[in-house]
Amino acid sequence: MPMIITSGAASAKGFGAFAKTGGADGTKGIFALGYLSGGFSTIRNKYTYATCTSTACGVGAASAASYSGSAAGNSTRGIFALGETNFGAVTTRNKYTYSCCTSTACGVGAASAASYRGSAAGNSTRGIFALGSASGLSTIRNKYTYATCTSTACGVGAASAASCRGSAAGNSTRGIFALGSASGLSTIRNKYTYATCTSTACGVGAASAASYSGSAAGNSTRGIFALGETTCCISTIRNKYTYTTCTSTACGVGAASAASYGGSAAGNSTRGIFALGFTSGPSTIRNKYTYSCCTSTASGVGAASAASYFGSAASWATCVNT
């Protein structure tokens, strides 16, 4: 969310000085830019929530130029699945360490299959990665354990349908995965329960419109899903998904500042930062979505260091993935 990550999503949370023990809220989000007008990118941006500023300076680059990845993280690190590189879809993941702004692909559990256009969400101990497109649409999810930097597809609840270009967000007990493209644009979401590694599409609030290539972020009570591309057009629509009731609505939810798709999102417990992705072309625009009032603005929000789309993002929020 998940991204509450993302990608897509990108989706997952933020990190803070004492977030290692759950004692403080997240302070920064890390955005992998994805596809620039000149090609795939290794660039990442560090977005500071308190000042709404963003920089690419001093931020550990990806181990390879890529796009259409996904990311999830806990209080100390973000795990980025690179997606597609110049050599095609890969199994490579990067471990981004927040405290020193460094990134490495060494010693990081690889995906169980080469893939791209996936999504991810997680809590403080694990990230759940939906692989997306892996030699065709896939139902496969991987459980990535932060403590050991290992990954497995064994015993992990599969998606209810093969899909790609989804998005995900969650809290400390569950991740909500919007499937995206599942033999066509989809309204289907799955509820993935971390404790049991099970997944269901039953009783889970559907999206307000069939869509794909969206993004998502949230706090401990709700996930905000930017729908991305719908059957008619690219969209400004966002849905508010309430975890306790597994319901979803597009009513009263702050719209994006521009119609877009292929974005990414990260946030802390009070706000989500949505990189819009592709608007009339690759974009530097980000929106600040405030959960308490369900409002959104592009004003005063640090832009990306370069226009891009199909990126990913990770961060941390207290009471979200603790």
Residues of the chain with pLDDT under 70: 1-23, 319
- Cα–Cα distance between 209 and 135 in angstroms, integer? 27
Is residue 71 a contact partner of residue 11, using CB atoms and an 8 Å limit? yes
Within a 13 Å sphere around the CA of 201, how many CA atoms are in the beta-carbon half?
A: 14
* Amino acid at site 101: C
Return the pLDDT at 114: 98
- Cα–Cα distance between 27 and 16 in angstroms, integer? 5
**Residue 224: C-alpha distances to residues 77, 269, 294 (Å):** 22, 12, 9
Structure tokens, 70: 């996904």
CA proximity to 259, closest of 223, 280, 235, 225? 235
Strand-pairing partners, residue 212, are 229
Maximum pairwise Cα distance, the chain: 45
Structure tokens, 37: 């007008």
Return the pLDDT at 24: 72
Domains in the chain: boundaries: 5-315
- Residue 215 phi/psi, 5-degree rounding, is -150, 165
- Residue 64 phi/psi, 5-degree rounding, is -155, 150
Structure tokens, 33: 């830019």
- Other C-beta atoms lying within 10 Å of the C-beta of residue 10: 44
- Cα–Cα distance between 249 and 221 in angstroms, integer? 14
Can you give the pTM of this predicted structure? 0.94
CA proximity to 139, closest of 156, 125, 122, 127? 156
pLDDT digits (tens, 9 = 90+) for 30-80: 999 999 998 999 999 999 999 999 999 999 999 999 999 999 999 999 999
Is residue 270 a contact partner of residue 290, using CB atoms and an 8 Å limit? yes
Structure tokens, 201: 């599409």
- Cα–Cα distance between 259 and 202 in angstroms, integer? 30
Return the pLDDT at 318: 75
Is residue 44 a contact partner of residue 321, using CB atoms and an 8 Å limit? no
Q: How far is CA 137 from the centre of its chain?
A: 19
* Amino acid at site 252: G
Q: What is the CATH number of domain 5-315?
A: 2.120.10.80
- Cα–Cα distance between 213 and 278 in angstroms, integer? 10
Return the pLDDT at 20: 42
Vertex 61: Cα angle to 59 and 66 (nearest 5): 140
